[in-house]
Amino acid sequence: MNNIFSKTKIPKTIGVIMDGNRRWAKSKNLPTYEGHSAGYEKLKDFARWAKEAGVKNIIAFAFSTENWERKKHEVDFLLMLFRKMVIEEAEELKKEKARIIFLGDLDKFPKDIAVAARKLEEDTKKYAKNQTIGLAVSYGGRAEIISSIRKLVKEKGINAIGKIDEKMFSSFLFTKDIPDPDLIIRTSGEMRLSGFLPWQSVYSELFFTKTNWPALTKKEFQKILKEYVFRERRLGK
Protein backbone atom coordinates (compact mmCIF):
# COMPACT_ATOMS: atom_id res chain seq x y z
CA MET A 1 0.00 0.00 0.00
CA ASN A 2 2.75 2.44 0.91
CA ASN A 3 4.27 2.38 -2.58
CA ILE A 4 0.88 3.14 -4.18
CA PHE A 5 -0.46 6.00 -2.10
CA SER A 6 1.04 9.27 -1.06
CA LYS A 7 -0.20 10.85 2.16
CA THR A 8 -1.89 13.61 0.17
CA LYS A 9 -3.96 11.08 -1.77
CA ILE A 10 -5.24 9.05 1.17
CA PRO A 11 -8.80 10.05 2.08
CA LYS A 12 -8.97 11.62 5.54
CA THR A 13 -12.47 10.26 6.05
CA ILE A 14 -14.30 7.32 4.51
CA GLY A 15 -18.04 6.91 4.86
CA VAL A 16 -19.43 3.42 4.43
CA ILE A 17 -23.01 2.22 3.97
CA MET A 18 -22.80 -1.37 5.18
CA ASP A 19 -25.56 -2.85 3.04
CA GLY A 20 -26.25 -6.48 2.22
CA ASN A 21 -26.09 -8.37 5.52
CA ARG A 22 -29.50 -9.98 4.97
CA ARG A 23 -28.78 -10.73 1.30
CA TRP A 24 -25.46 -12.33 2.24
CA ALA A 25 -27.21 -14.56 4.79
CA LYS A 26 -29.94 -15.50 2.32
CA SER A 27 -27.37 -16.40 -0.35
CA LYS A 28 -25.85 -18.87 2.11
CA ASN A 29 -29.18 -20.21 3.41
CA LEU A 30 -28.45 -18.73 6.82
CA PRO A 31 -30.83 -16.92 9.17
CA THR A 32 -30.84 -13.12 8.97
CA TYR A 33 -29.11 -12.71 12.32
CA GLU A 34 -26.05 -14.53 10.98
CA GLY A 35 -25.73 -11.81 8.34
CA HIS A 36 -25.82 -9.06 10.93
CA SER A 37 -23.25 -10.86 13.08
CA ALA A 38 -20.96 -11.26 10.08
CA GLY A 39 -21.49 -7.60 9.21
CA TYR A 40 -20.41 -6.51 12.69
CA GLU A 41 -17.22 -8.56 12.43
CA LYS A 42 -16.57 -7.11 8.96
CA LEU A 43 -16.71 -3.59 10.37
CA LYS A 44 -13.87 -4.49 12.74
CA ASP A 45 -11.84 -5.75 9.77
CA PHE A 46 -12.67 -2.67 7.73
CA ALA A 47 -11.50 -0.34 10.50
CA ARG A 48 -8.16 -2.15 10.63
CA TRP A 49 -7.74 -2.07 6.83
CA ALA A 50 -8.47 1.65 6.83
CA LYS A 51 -6.00 2.29 9.63
CA GLU A 52 -3.29 0.32 7.82
CA ALA A 53 -3.90 2.46 4.71
CA GLY A 54 -3.56 5.67 6.72
CA VAL A 55 -7.25 6.61 6.83
CA LYS A 56 -7.84 8.59 10.03
CA ASN A 57 -11.64 8.60 10.14
CA ILE A 58 -14.52 6.26 9.33
CA ILE A 59 -18.23 7.05 9.41
CA ALA A 60 -20.24 3.83 9.22
CA PHE A 61 -24.00 3.72 8.64
CA ALA A 62 -24.99 1.03 11.13
CA PHE A 63 -28.68 1.60 11.90
CA SER A 64 -31.07 4.09 10.32
CA THR A 65 -34.12 5.74 11.83
CA GLU A 66 -36.19 3.60 9.43
CA ASN A 67 -34.62 0.38 10.72
CA TRP A 68 -36.73 0.64 13.87
CA GLU A 69 -39.67 -0.36 11.64
CA ARG A 70 -38.22 -3.77 10.80
CA LYS A 71 -39.67 -6.95 12.32
CA LYS A 72 -39.34 -7.04 16.09
CA HIS A 73 -37.14 -10.14 16.19
CA GLU A 74 -34.65 -8.52 13.82
CA VAL A 75 -34.58 -5.23 15.77
CA ASP A 76 -34.14 -7.20 19.00
CA PHE A 77 -31.14 -9.01 17.53
CA LEU A 78 -29.58 -5.75 16.33
CA LEU A 79 -30.04 -4.33 19.83
CA MET A 80 -28.32 -7.43 21.20
CA LEU A 81 -25.39 -6.74 18.86
CA PHE A 82 -25.17 -3.13 20.04
CA ARG A 83 -25.30 -4.32 23.65
CA LYS A 84 -22.54 -6.82 22.92
CA MET A 85 -20.40 -4.09 21.40
CA VAL A 86 -20.75 -1.35 24.01
CA ILE A 87 -20.94 -3.55 27.12
CA GLU A 88 -19.45 -7.01 26.60
CA GLU A 89 -16.70 -6.01 24.17
CA ALA A 90 -15.99 -2.48 25.40
CA GLU A 91 -12.61 -3.38 26.91
CA GLU A 92 -11.54 -5.23 23.77
CA LEU A 93 -12.55 -2.30 21.58
CA LYS A 94 -10.49 0.08 23.71
CA LYS A 95 -7.40 -1.99 22.91
CA GLU A 96 -7.76 -0.92 19.27
CA LYS A 97 -7.01 2.64 20.47
CA ALA A 98 -9.57 4.31 18.23
CA ARG A 99 -12.01 6.98 19.29
CA ILE A 100 -15.61 5.82 18.95
CA ILE A 101 -18.43 8.33 18.46
CA PHE A 102 -22.13 7.52 18.12
CA LEU A 103 -23.90 9.71 15.57
CA GLY A 104 -27.65 9.73 15.98
CA ASP A 105 -30.37 9.64 18.61
CA LEU A 106 -29.04 7.42 21.40
CA ASP A 107 -32.10 8.17 23.50
CA LYS A 108 -34.08 5.87 21.20
CA PHE A 109 -32.10 2.90 22.54
CA PRO A 110 -32.69 1.02 25.79
CA LYS A 111 -31.10 2.88 28.69
CA ASP A 112 -28.33 0.35 29.35
CA ILE A 113 -27.14 0.60 25.73
CA ALA A 114 -27.30 4.40 25.67
CA VAL A 115 -25.41 4.75 28.96
CA ALA A 116 -22.72 2.27 27.91
CA ALA A 117 -22.36 3.93 24.49
CA ARG A 118 -21.78 7.34 26.06
CA LYS A 119 -19.23 5.81 28.45
CA LEU A 120 -17.40 4.20 25.52
CA GLU A 121 -17.31 7.58 23.79
CA GLU A 122 -15.80 9.19 26.89
CA ASP A 123 -13.30 6.38 27.50
CA THR A 124 -11.99 6.45 23.91
CA LYS A 125 -11.86 10.23 23.47
CA LYS A 126 -8.12 10.19 24.15
CA TYR A 127 -7.50 8.11 21.00
CA ALA A 128 -8.73 10.75 18.54
CA LYS A 129 -5.22 11.28 17.13
CA ASN A 130 -4.99 7.60 16.18
CA GLN A 131 -8.30 6.96 14.47
CA THR A 132 -11.92 8.05 14.89
CA ILE A 133 -14.83 5.76 14.11
CA GLY A 134 -18.26 7.39 13.90
CA LEU A 135 -21.16 4.94 14.08
CA ALA A 136 -24.38 6.33 12.64
CA VAL A 137 -27.07 4.66 14.74
CA SER A 138 -30.74 5.62 14.84
CA TYR A 139 -29.52 8.04 12.20
CA GLY A 140 -31.31 9.85 9.40
CA GLY A 141 -29.81 12.67 7.36
CA ARG A 142 -32.88 14.89 7.47
CA ALA A 143 -33.34 14.20 11.18
CA GLU A 144 -29.73 15.27 11.74
CA ILE A 145 -30.28 18.59 9.95
CA ILE A 146 -33.47 19.31 11.89
CA SER A 147 -31.75 18.39 15.16
CA SER A 148 -28.85 20.69 14.29
CA ILE A 149 -31.15 23.63 13.60
CA ARG A 150 -32.91 23.13 16.92
CA LYS A 151 -29.62 22.94 18.83
CA LEU A 152 -28.27 26.01 17.06
CA VAL A 153 -31.35 28.11 17.84
CA LYS A 154 -31.40 26.88 21.44
CA GLU A 155 -27.75 27.81 21.99
CA LYS A 156 -27.41 30.92 19.82
CA GLY A 157 -30.96 32.27 19.95
CA ILE A 158 -33.45 32.94 17.17
CA ASN A 159 -31.69 36.19 16.27
CA ALA A 160 -28.64 34.20 15.17
CA ILE A 161 -30.49 32.79 12.16
CA GLY A 162 -29.30 35.61 9.91
CA LYS A 163 -25.67 35.00 10.90
CA ILE A 164 -25.55 31.29 10.12
CA ASP A 165 -22.84 30.18 7.72
CA GLU A 166 -21.66 26.71 6.72
CA LYS A 167 -18.96 26.56 9.39
CA MET A 168 -21.35 27.50 12.18
CA PHE A 169 -24.02 25.06 11.02
CA SER A 170 -21.51 22.22 10.67
CA SER A 171 -20.47 22.69 14.30
CA PHE A 172 -23.95 21.55 15.38
CA LEU A 173 -24.04 18.36 13.29
CA PHE A 174 -23.57 14.91 14.84
CA THR A 175 -20.31 14.72 12.83
CA LYS A 176 -18.86 17.99 14.16
CA ASP A 177 -15.70 16.19 15.33
CA ILE A 178 -15.10 14.32 12.06
CA PRO A 179 -14.11 15.82 8.69
CA ASP A 180 -16.59 15.37 5.85
CA PRO A 181 -16.05 12.11 3.93
CA ASP A 182 -13.74 12.30 0.94
CA LEU A 183 -15.02 8.92 -0.14
CA ILE A 184 -18.28 7.04 0.46
CA ILE A 185 -18.57 3.32 -0.26
CA ARG A 186 -21.89 1.48 -0.50
CA THR A 187 -22.00 -2.29 -0.76
CA SER A 188 -24.61 -4.72 -2.16
CA GLY A 189 -25.37 -2.98 -5.46
CA GLU A 190 -27.75 -0.20 -4.43
CA MET A 191 -26.73 3.11 -6.02
CA ARG A 192 -28.09 5.72 -3.63
CA LEU A 193 -27.12 7.24 -0.27
CA SER A 194 -30.44 6.57 1.48
CA GLY A 195 -30.24 9.61 3.74
CA PHE A 196 -26.60 9.09 4.71
CA LEU A 197 -24.79 12.37 5.44
CA PRO A 198 -26.70 14.64 3.01
CA TRP A 199 -24.91 17.78 4.25
CA GLN A 200 -21.45 16.24 4.56
CA SER A 201 -21.43 14.27 1.29
CA VAL A 202 -21.82 17.14 -1.20
CA TYR A 203 -18.27 16.69 -2.56
CA SER A 204 -17.66 13.07 -1.61
CA GLU A 205 -16.46 10.62 -4.23
CA LEU A 206 -18.98 7.77 -4.45
CA PHE A 207 -18.17 4.11 -4.98
CA PHE A 208 -20.79 1.39 -5.38
CA THR A 209 -19.99 -2.30 -5.32
CA LYS A 210 -22.29 -5.29 -5.84
CA THR A 211 -20.45 -7.16 -3.09
CA ASN A 212 -22.55 -7.71 0.02
CA TRP A 213 -21.01 -6.10 3.08
CA PRO A 214 -19.95 -9.30 4.94
CA ALA A 215 -18.22 -10.51 1.75
CA LEU A 216 -16.10 -7.38 1.23
CA THR A 217 -12.40 -8.24 1.12
CA LYS A 218 -9.28 -6.29 1.90
CA LYS A 219 -8.26 -6.69 -1.74
CA GLU A 220 -11.47 -5.04 -2.98
CA PHE A 221 -11.10 -2.24 -0.44
CA GLN A 222 -7.57 -1.57 -1.68
CA LYS A 223 -8.84 -1.59 -5.27
CA ILE A 224 -11.39 1.10 -4.35
CA LEU A 225 -8.65 3.20 -2.75
CA LYS A 226 -6.52 2.86 -5.87
CA GLU A 227 -9.39 4.10 -8.04
CA TYR A 228 -9.97 6.99 -5.64
CA VAL A 229 -6.35 8.07 -6.05
CA PHE A 230 -6.82 8.56 -9.79
CA ARG A 231 -10.06 10.52 -9.59
CA GLU A 232 -9.74 14.26 -10.01
CA ARG A 233 -11.51 16.06 -7.21
CA ARG A 234 -12.41 19.63 -8.17
CA LEU A 235 -14.56 20.31 -5.07
CA GLY A 236 -16.76 22.64 -7.09
CA LYS A 237 -13.85 24.74 -8.41
Reported confidence tier of residue 237, pLDDT bands at 50, 70, 90: low
pLDDT at 9: 84
Pairing mode, strands 132-139 and 13-17: unpaired
Are 96 and 172 in contact by the 8 Å Cβ rule? The answer is no
Cα 75 to Cα 79, 104, 129: the distances in Å are: 6, 16, 34
pTM here?
0.93
Catalytically annotated residues: 19, 67
Q: To which CATH superfamily is domain 13-140+181-226 assigned?
A: Decaprenyl diphosphate synthase-like (3.40.1180.10)
Report the pLDDT value the prediction gives residue 234, as an integer from 0 to 100: 67
**pLDDT in the model for residue 8:** 61
Residue range 47-91, pLDDT digits in tens: 999 999 999 999 999 999 999 999 999 999 999 999 999 999 999
Domain segments of the chain: what residues?
A: 13-140+181-226
Q: pLDDT tens digit string along 110-134?
A: 999 999 999 999 999 999 999 999 9
In 3-state terms, what secondary structure has residue 131? coil
Residue range 90-111: mean pLDDT, rounded: 97
pLDDT for 3: 47
Cross-strand partners of 183:
14, 205
Q: Are 36 and 77 in contact (CB under 8 A)?
A: yes
Higher pLDDT, 97 or 236: 97
Whether the Cβ atoms of residue 109 and residue 117 lie closer than 8 Å to each other: yes
User: Do residues 178 and 13 lie in contact, with contact meaning Cβ atoms separated by under 8 Å?
Assistant: yes
Give the chain's length: 237
Give the mean pLDDT of the chain. 94
